[in-house]
Structure 1
Amino acid sequence: MNIYAHRGNSGFFPENTICAFKKSLDLGVYGIELDVHKTKDGILVVHHDETVDRMFDGKGYIKKLTLEQIKELTIKDDEYKDNPECKIPTLDEVLELIEPTNLNLNIELKNNKIAYKDIEKDVVALVKKYKMEKRVVISTFNVKSLKKLSKLNSKIKTAYLVSALTFKRGGLKKALKTCKDCKCTYIHPSYDLVNKEFVDEAHKKDILVQVYTVNSITIMRKLIKFKVDGIFTNYPKIINTIVND
């Protein structure tokens, strides 16, 4: 089973920072998951929210801030505010960190609320720069984006992200059809949507199931029984121990 460190080793260190990613390198997991936006000046940066407010001492949307402005921000967590590795990193910086390792990477495009121009093309270009096409999965809730990705580079695997809201609109049958139409290798559902039927139906259609965000040992044990193909967790070391126990 593929175990991904969700936003890095985020259960113990500030999410989506170089610090959290470095703390994931020696955990023996399959890969790291992160989120990508674009700045006002068109740079790909790694951060979950559309705005910087929750984690950093600034305000505003990433799309309205330049990289220089973003790099000036200080994390709110007092324990890490003087740590230079707890800034918002660029995707370039993270790929440079991960490339020499044997880790895989799940890059989530945060374009379900904001339509960042050419984000698919820019992410694919960076992945190619580091020759990591076979080690990267690009995921998104955005169906149009998945179709663009399938045309840009067939070597890079893609994943359709599915939330409870998405699922209500069409259920399992529609979600799996979307995966096929968009040539996705994976479907990435929220853990509360997953049961044996979900996994069995996906596997029948040759679609792999990787589940987010699994931080409960009880839920993890259920997913093992359902034979999911991967999970995303904030506690990769703990979950990895259970899977390989």
Structure 2
Amino acid sequence: MKHFQIYLIVLGVVLTACKSNKSLNTVSGIEVQGHRGDRGNFPENSIPAFISAVEKGVDVIELDVVISADKKVVVSHEPYMSSVYVTAPNGKPISKKQEHLFNLHTMNYDSISKFDIGSRGNPNFLKQSRIKTYKPLLAEVIDTVEKYIKNNHHKPVRYNIEIKSDKKEYGISQPQPEEFVDLVMALLKAKDVLHKINIQSFDPMPLNILRKKYPSVTIALLTSKPNIEKNLAQLDFTPEIYSPHYKLVTNAFCDSLRLKKIKIIPWTINDDIDIQDMIEKHVDGIITDYPERVISKMK
């Protein structure tokens, strides 16, 4: 019932806000990735944000996953309840001092789902719609998006799934990397979507494990550091995608990666000038909080 009510709310809001974009005209094959769905306009990593991104015509839905105490794959950027936008079940905002008390890896999913991640809005995204919603399971996201696409005759989308992993957090706010990878992959196999996903992470450990155990999966290395060779040296293989902070991207940077036959998909580009710059550099994809801004420039 909760999911159905949220679905109806977001459907009404999205259809009012924009017309369906079922056939996106892209420039030079550049794909548009909705960062955490449509974070600039809807609560991040939520069902409403993902439906909005689909409705606007993204090629890829970008999202983050963590693991709950009962081994569920939960869609969340942080492995805790953020003080920036989360409200506790008692109706009170999470404070900065409380964040560490709500470690998602120590909470079962039925408890996690009771927290509201949308009613407060987000001070970093002032136009974001305030909708009462929750952190969904990855399984629910896939089921809901695929059903929505089928029922509304939208083009298919792919999923860019970030494993939120940090060496300092192994066994604390996350499982050990191999277990993390196996839990995510088991879910993706069960949903039969391996042909439409890639896995990304800042942490090379899960990516190395992923390539060894699941060699057919497309992998992206996320980075905010400038040295391409040093960053790639963390891996036991050459990834299909290199995903840097957009300010690192220059023409020489792109040339270096193209010589290695590695795709370039920078994050997170929101400003019109920066979007245009990435288009002119012919990157392979643009990750953005505002899909409509990129799409409007790509028509």
TM-score clears 0.5: yes
Q: Which has the larger radius of gyration?
A: 2
- 1:92 matched to 2:92: no
Aligned to 2:105: 63
Any stretches of 5+ residues in structure 1 without a counterpart?
Answer: none
Q: Normalising by structure 2, what TM-score?
A: 0.74
Total equivalences in the alignment: 236
* Amino-acid identity (%): 28
Pick which of 4-13 and 109-118 moved more.
109-118
Contact 2:232 2:238 in 1 (8 A): no
CA gap 1:224/1:81 in 2 versus in 1, 3 angstroms: closer
Q: Which residue, 51, 73, 82 being the options, matches 1:22?
A: 51
Contact 1:6 1:32 in 2 (8 A): yes
Any idea what SS the aligned residue of 1:23 has?
helix
1:121-169 Cα distance to aligned partner (Å, 9 max, x none): 11111111121112101000111111111122222201000113xx3xx
Pick which of 197-206 and 145-154 moved more.
145-154
Any stretches of 5+ residues in structure 2 without a counterpart?
Answer: 1-29, 89-98, 122-128, 150-155
Q: 1:217: how far off?
A: 1.0
Q: Normalising by structure 1, what TM-score?
A: 0.90
Q: Distance in 2 between matches of 1:172 and 1:53?
A: 32
Q: 1:178: how far off?
A: 4.2
Which 4+ stretches in 1 moved above 6 angstroms? 79-82
Q: Distance in 1 between matches of 2:187 and 2:118?
A: 30
Contact 1:146 1:182 in 2 (8 A): no
Q: Distance in 2 between matches of 1:172 and 1:144?
A: 17
- 1:216 matched to 2:277: no
1:91-170 equivalences in 2 (<5 Å): 91-100=138-147, 101=149, 102-112=156-166, 113-115=168-170, 116-117=175-176, 118-164=179-225, 167=226
Any idea what SS the aligned residue of 1:232 has?
strand
- 1:172 matched to 2:228: yes
Q: 1:175: how far off?
A: 2.4
Contact 1:176 1:202 in 2 (8 A): no
RMSD of aligned Cα (Å): 1.8
1:193-240 Cα distance to aligned partner (Å, 9 max, x none): 111111111010010000100001111111122211001101001211
Aligned to 2:125: none
- 1:12 matched to 2:41: yes
Q: 1:82: how far off?
A: 6.7
Q: Distance in 1 between matches of 2:266 and 2:131?
A: 34
CA gap 1:225/1:123 in 2 versus in 1, 3 angstroms: same
Q: 1:98: how far off?
A: 3.0
Contact 1:75 1:81 in 2 (8 A): no
Contact 1:37 1:110 in 2 (8 A): yes
Name the amino acid aligned to 1:18: I
CA gap 1:241/1:67 in 2 versus in 1, 3 angstroms: same
